Amino acid sequence: MNAFRSLASPLVLVLASTCAFGLQAGATKADPKADAKADSKSEAAKLTAPDIAAIADKLAPGLVRVEYTPQFDSKGEAPPSDRYSFSRARPGSDIPGLDATENWDGLIKEERPGESGGYLISPTTVFTADPRLHPRFIKSIVVRRGDATATAKPKAYLRDHSGWFLELDKPLAGATPLQFDPLKSGPFFSLVYTESGGQWFAAIAGQESTVVVTDDHRKLVQSTPGSLIVTRTGEPVTITPGRSRTADDAWKLAPDAMPALSEADMTKALAALEQSTKDSLLRVQLNFRSPRSGSEMGGGRRGRFGYDGGEDGPALTEWNGLGVVTGDKTVLVLADLKPKVTGRLERVRVFKADGTPVTATFSGSLKDWGAMLVTAESSVGTPVNLSTKSITDHRDVLLLKAELSIRGETRTAYFSRERIEAFSKRYRGDLYPIASTGQTGGDEGGRSVIFDLDGTLVSLPMSRREKVTTRERWGEEGLLQVPAAILQSALTDRAKSIDTENRPLTEAEENRLAWLGVEMQAMDPELARAQNIVEPTRNGEVGGIVTFVYESSPASQAGIKVGDVLLRLHIEGQPKPLDVNVDENPMGNMMDQFWAMIDRVPEEYLDRLPKPWGNVENTLARALTDVGFGTPFTADLLRDGKTMTVDFKVAQGPAHYDSAARFKSADAVGLSVRDLTYEVRRYFQVKPEEPGVIIAKVERGSRAAVAGLKPYEIIRSINDQPIKNVQDFEEALKQGGELRLAVKRMTQGRTVKLKVDAADGKPADKGSGKSEPGAGVLQDNNAPAPATSAP
Amino acid sequence: MKIADRVLSVRHALVVLASTALCATALAQQPQQQPQQPAQRIAPPSSVNIPPMPQLSAAELAADRLDFRQIVQQAKAKVFPAVIYIKCVREDNQGGERKSAEVTGSGVIVTPEGQALTNWHVIDKAESVRVLLSDGRGFKAKILGSDKDTDLALIQIETTADTGSLPYASLGDSSKLTEGDFVMAMGAPFGLNRSVSIGIVSSIDRYLEEISEYSLWIQTDAAINPGNSGGPLVSTAGEVIGINARGMGAAPGMAFAIPSETVKVIAGQLKEFGKVNWSWTGLQLQPLRDFNRDIYFEGTDGVIVAETDPESPARQAGIQPRDRILKVNGKPLTGLTTESLPAVRRELGLLAKREPATLDIVRDGKPMSVQITPREKGDVEGKELALKRWDLTVKVINQFDNPDLYFHKQKGVFVFATKYPGNASTAGLRSLDIITRIDGKDVETLADVEAAHKAALANLDSKPRIVFTVLRSGLSRQVVVDMQRDYSKE
């Protein structure tokens, strides 16, 4: 198929009388008519350039220009332009005369129409290429021949090829319709009426230049889309709207005999689609639990430039978008959410055609595609019919398109015609349509779903999901038009298609992370050179020097040592090895002086002090978490310059500062504390058996603030009772009275007295009276990773 | 954006703080030597002593008023000739290279032999000291001794046979001062020597956190500016009752002087030993009553142990945080408020070294007695060294000066400063990085680092890049210092 496509590129030879004639050796042998064609060739060769030019003169009265004047729609929206996709299929690019570098938007600014060559086939009917622009963007269509003009409107659409018929409001003065006779025999010439550099001309070329025989036994002759086929004497035979025609005579049809859909039928079909999609393409709202403050910066690099709140941003709290009803209660929600975001998913509501919300439950995230399946409590609409045809059967055929955009509560839908002109071979070798809207089928929140004329879903735009995402996110592909068959198999074979790791989590689990149990320093070119490991580290671009190994961690169990250089991880099921890149603490040397400055930081800034020990959540931990606990992987590492490999399984790390059990006291006391987690213990050199909880926040103006308590100080005991965790702390506060807190930071210590009323001892949680969610109850993060359903 | 915001905010906070921070008043061409002085919200002391008002008759009062100009003139005349203008050339490693910088300050001659008091921060690391008397005579001077904790120094004016006599002032009794007493500050603000300003005593016992280890401060509103450092604060009786040391940058009208009673304790030791050889117990103390933090302990005598320093005599003696120390060697100690802590520390600091002292303490309501053997406190600041080709200065970790570094490594050397641009800063070394290895060899002392630098220079042609291992926030890191570029080349 690929080969075919490349051969079928338009070929325009201006008055080429000799060079492009005849059949190419390899292809001709397969053609049963090779001998006859050979004769034609010699006959055609006798024609001189002036002879051929005479053909154009003869046909000239039937050649017209069609001028499309685009406009912004009533909402001020610009016609689709190409700014966001770089595929070949640009809107209007196959309209002869409309420069491929132009777009409709540009034409409006330049106050000129898009132009296309056309053929007059009756006094008031013109055949031309179909610009496939939604009618709301077309201000007027004018057909011109010389100074004579007529206003035109759509009449009918070719079913099998790109091309449409326009109806003129009056005959064009001085024009003569072309008279087609499909029975004429060859040799044939093809004529294309087009413009270049302001010059309109008819380009005439010999026919049958290339014959293609596909592996599925189709025999095709390449042609220029929208070309007029004429005999050597200039008598029109037919128009070939597509890029190829069959090698036999089946193509010889007069234009008015070609299968076409009338404008009235098109209107009906679009109306029917609009009606049916009201029940099948629905608005879905997802609501997420609020992320914890501080944890949104966990991504290290991500989120630093303000992407936090966007779709898939780590701090997303509400998502509104398109859901495709695929079963009575099953809806495919086109939300491409990272596991960290899905983890906070709290509520799913599908809005029926009449706006009634139906609550739905999460059923699974698709592994390969940016979408999730939800199950509604009750029937929400009518499932779409998925096309069972091969996607290639839809090539060039007249199709319909529903463009949906959902912004907040508003669902906007436009319906128009569509054609799939080409395919690209992409993920796992499957073919994905390239539609006129471009390969992506959507931008700026809009999505174009493609249907056939019967309203059966042909393809659906979804983003391709790569499981292991690293900092090179910008390199990711956008949306792909996913054929119905691929979607069907994803819906059917859920064991294969669902990613069990990308699912809603409890608040306690929300910040769980995989760990290796090492701290690392980023490799750099100088270090790579100094250690003579330039090659394995790709000149210091990849790799992390192990600077610390946590006890009883996967790394320590695997014998990883300080000084080893981790290079990359080969994760089972992931095609791309994951390079080890270390996120450097963006705070830089601010943290070196943390304790020297903390007493001088004004109270209002204390809340915003970053953790002096940095983030546990980094690109690597995030990627391993997303892969799923239990997944085997092999790490490439360098020890003393020698390459080694070590086998691991992704293991869930123990609680870290952002996932630690926490307790927040009543506001008057104003203390939030968390358990001491492994990285905090390392930073403060607190042994595992030593008690302590760490102060996470001190409310301004509270008793704790007055008493001089500061964030990141450690409370070791209260009234001489060791405080081993937040539960102990909560219990101690319940005692009430004047509490003596033994407080420590680095080498300094002091006793702090806090008066706590019995009522203050209660945690500050609105309503429930219990610890803040996720607190109080000590989560067991050391528990074995939850069982994952084996793929 | 968010993180960037935070950085800016905190930086902003630091800038604000820096500008309001107490600044030492030596006038230096380089940034002030005192690295981090706290901005302190100064609250009223929790104990207020109201001295009895002097009972004066109306006539006496009138005479007092009439005399005032004269009193001021007399007082000035007694001390002013003994005020000296000091210029030092001192070693400065703050820019990541060793540089000599000129510092100016003030001082006051207090003996007929030409011994003069000034601030530690005026003559610290001085290579040479010159003094100018108010009568126009100039001399060289040498340093007899200095103490960082109290910011005092004693220098000897080097006279010659034909010098003649030197003017000198006498030390008064600062404990007799009360708030509201008139005082004069004399010295060389901004290098303008022979300047006098007048004000009153704003507070006689000001406690400034982190810089009131052994002494409280006299607070005055007499104008004290950079260059006044080391000059005398003079009473209306014409006696030196303080040595001016600190101003508060953003708040004119708030300046601080070392009381003469503290000077008397320190100066003798400086003269005798060249330093104040404090004893060290490793006790971190808290007062019984802390109004600022609303923390009150039971009892009205003694002082609370907040914590003990690691591996200190106090820890070895088994003293626990929250023990209340009542007596040392039978002598009562009272740390009622923060203002009383310097005196307690002074008491402990003057204990005999390497001899057991008895502490009477109360633990959990039970009185008990503990033996503690103080040690020499030793240096309170590490020595520095400049390493030219690395464009780097290093300093020895000192537990009193760099407690956070000491927390990670007790014996070692850290990056004091890097020159910018320079080889160390290009390599990514940062100030406060503890250097643990250079070119495969462990380093612990300045000599180790110096030897490594020397070796590196010797092998410059064959090995121009040297790997440093440093400890930063407790985590080890490696950096490669490329020495090929000579940043001092002109």
What ipTM goes with this model?
A: 0.82
B321–chain A Cβ distance below 8 A for any pair: yes
Chain B contact for A718, CB < 8 A? no
Q: Do B465 and A530 touch (CB under 8 A)?
A: yes
Contact (CB, 8 A) for A366 and A376:
no
> In chain A, whose CA is at the least distance from the CA of B312?
A747
Pairwise pLDDT comparison (A478 vs B375), residue with the higher score: B375
**Which pLDDT band, with edges at 50, 70 and 90, does A764 fall under?**
low
Tell me A465's DSSP state: P
Chain A, 594 to 613: residues with Cβ < 8 Å from chain B are 594-597, 599-602, 605, 608-610, 612-613
**Residue type at A746?**
M
pLDDT in tens, A553-589: 999 999 999 999 999 999 988 888 999 988 776 566 6
A101 Cβ contact partners less than 8 Å away, ≥ 6 residues apart: none
For A62, A675, A759, B153, B228, the CA distances from B105, given in Å and listed in that order, are: 103, 52, 59, 12, 6
Q: Cis peptide leading into B342, omega within 30 of 0? A: no
Enumerate the residues of chain A whose CB falls inside 8 A of the CB of residue B479: 526-527
Q: In chain A, whose CA is at the least distance from the CA of B476?
A: A547
Among A residues 297-316, those touching chain B with beta carbons less than 8 Å apart:
297, 303-306, 308
d(Cα A462, Cα A487) in Å, to the nearest integer?
10
DSSP B171: B
Bridge partners (DSSP) of residue A754 are A739
Query: With an 8 Å Cβ cutoff, is A38 touching chain B?
Result: no
* Residue of B203, B229, B235, B279 with catalytic role: B229
What average pLDDT score do residues B67-94 get? 91
- Residue B65 confidence (pLDDT): 62
The helix (run of H) or strand (run of E) holding residue A50 is: helix A49-59
Q: Scan residues 388-417 of B and list those with Cβ closer than 8 Å to A.
A: 403-404, 406-407
Q: Which residue in B106, B121, B235, B260 is the catalytic one?
A: B121
Partners of A325 in beta bridges: A331
Amino acid letter, A353: A
The conformation of residue B339, written as its DSSP 8-state character, comes to G
Give B268-282 pLDDT, tens digit per residue. 999 999 999 899 999
- Type of residue numbered B37: Q
Which pLDDT does position A222 carry in this prediction? 77
The fraction of chain A above a pLDDT of 70, given in percent, is: 80
| Gap from A701 CA to chain B (nearest CA, Å) | 12
Q: Write the residue in A304, A521, A600 that is nearest to B3 by C-beta.
A: A304
Measured between alpha carbons, how far is B17 from B19 in angstroms, rounded to an integer?
A: 5
Q: Are A285 and A318 in contact (CB under 8 A)?
A: yes
Residue A508: pLDDT above 70?
A: yes
Q: Where are the alpha helices (DSSP H) in B428-475?
A: 446-458
How many of the other CB atoms lie within 10 Å of CB of A769? Answer: 8
Q: How confident is the model at residue A43 (pLDDT cuts 50, 70, 90)?
A: low
Restricting to B residues 244-283, those with a Cβ less than 8 Å away from any Cβ of A are none
Report whether A744 contacts A716 (CB < 8 A).
yes
| Distance separating alpha carbons of residues A541 and A526, to the nearest angstrom | 10
Distance from the Cα of B11 to chain A's closest Cα (Å) equals 9
Residue B104 buriedness (CB in 10 A; 0-12 / 13-18 / 19+):
buried
- Quick one: pLDDT at residue A304? 35
Q: Do A610 and B1 touch (CB under 8 A)?
A: no
Alpha-carbon span A377 to A433, nearest angstrom: 34
A706 at interface of B, judged by CB pairs closer than 8 A: yes
Residue-wise pLDDT tens digits, B300-322: 899 999 999 988 999 999 999 99
Mean predicted confidence (pLDDT) in B210-229: 92
| B147 included as an active-site residue | no
What average pLDDT does chain B have?
A: 87
- What's the rounded Cα separation, in Å, for the pair A8 and A546? 56
Closest partner residue to B467 (CB to CB) among A519, A530, A753 is A530
pLDDT at A667: 80
B474 and A685: CB-CB below 8 Å? yes
- The torsion region of residue B358 among left (phi > 0), alpha (psi -120 to 50) and beta comes to beta
Residues in chain A within 8 Å Cβ distance of B11: 590
Range in A22-31, B118-127, B138-147, B285-294 the model is least confident about: A22-31
Q: Does B180 touch chain A (CB under 8 A)?
A: no
Instruction: Show residues of chain B in contact with A752, CB under 8 Å.
Output: 293, 295
The set of residues, in sequence order, having a beta carbon less than 8 Å from that of A117 and lying 6+ positions away, is A63, A64, A65, A66, A96, A97, A128, A192, A193, A194, A195, A200, A226
Q: Are A380 and A331 in contact (CB under 8 A)?
A: yes
- Residue to mutate among A295, A549, A564, A608, with most B CBs inside 10 A, is A608
The C-alpha angle with vertex A17 and arms to A254 and A234, in degrees rounded to 5, equals 30
Neighbours of B275 (CB within 10 A): 17
Q: In DSSP terms, which residues pair with A115 in a beta bridge?
A: A67
Token output for A446: 């809009």
How many Å apart are CA A518 and CA A554, to the nearest integer?
9
Residue B373 confidence (pLDDT): 97
Query: In 3-state terms, what secondary structure has residue B218?
Result: strand
**B286 vs A contacts (CB less than 8 Å):** 750-751
d(CA A281, CA A216): 36
| CA-CA-CA-CA torsion sign (A518, A519, A525, A529) | negative
Q: What is the C-alpha to C-alpha distance for residues A593 and A612, in angstroms, rounded to an integer? A: 9
Partner residue opposite A748 with nearest CB, options B307, B364, B433: B307
Q: Is the dihedral of CA A343, A347, A352, A354 positive or negative?
A: negative
DSSP conformational letter for A160: S
pLDDT at residue B356, as a whole number: 96
Of the given ranges (A292-301, A394-403, A535-544, B426-435), which has the lowest mean pLDDT?
A292-301
At A45, is the pLDDT very low, low, confident or very high (cuts 50, 70, 90)? low
Please tell me which of the candidates A521, A605, A708 has its beta carbon nearest to residue B478.
A521
Give the strand pairing for A514-515 and A544-549: unpaired
Tell me whether strands A737-745 and A714-718 are parallel, antiparallel or unpaired.
antiparallel
Residue A45 tokens, joined = 């060769």
CA of A530, closest CA in chain B: separation in Å?
7
Interface size A-B, in CB pairs within 8 Å, comes to 148
User: Does the annotation mark B92 as catalytic?
Assistant: no
Which of A264, A273, A486 lies closest to A371, judged by CA? A486
Helix (H, G, I), strand (E, B) or coil at A576: coil
Structure tokens at A777: 């109850």
Would you state the pLDDT for residue B63?
60
Question: pLDDT band at residue B120, thresholds of 50, 70 and 90?
Answer: very high
B151 is catalytic: yes
Name the A residues in 655-694 with CB < 8 Å from any B CB.
682-683, 685
For chain A, the average pLDDT equals 81
Chain B CB contacts of A602 under 8 Å are 13, 16-17
- The beta strands (E) that lie in A159-272 are given as 164-168, 188-196, 199-206, 211-213, 219-222, 227-231, 236-240, 244-246, 260-262
Helix (H) or strand (E) holding B417: strand B413-418
The answer to which of A423-427, A634-638, B110-114 has the lowest mean pLDDT is: A423-427
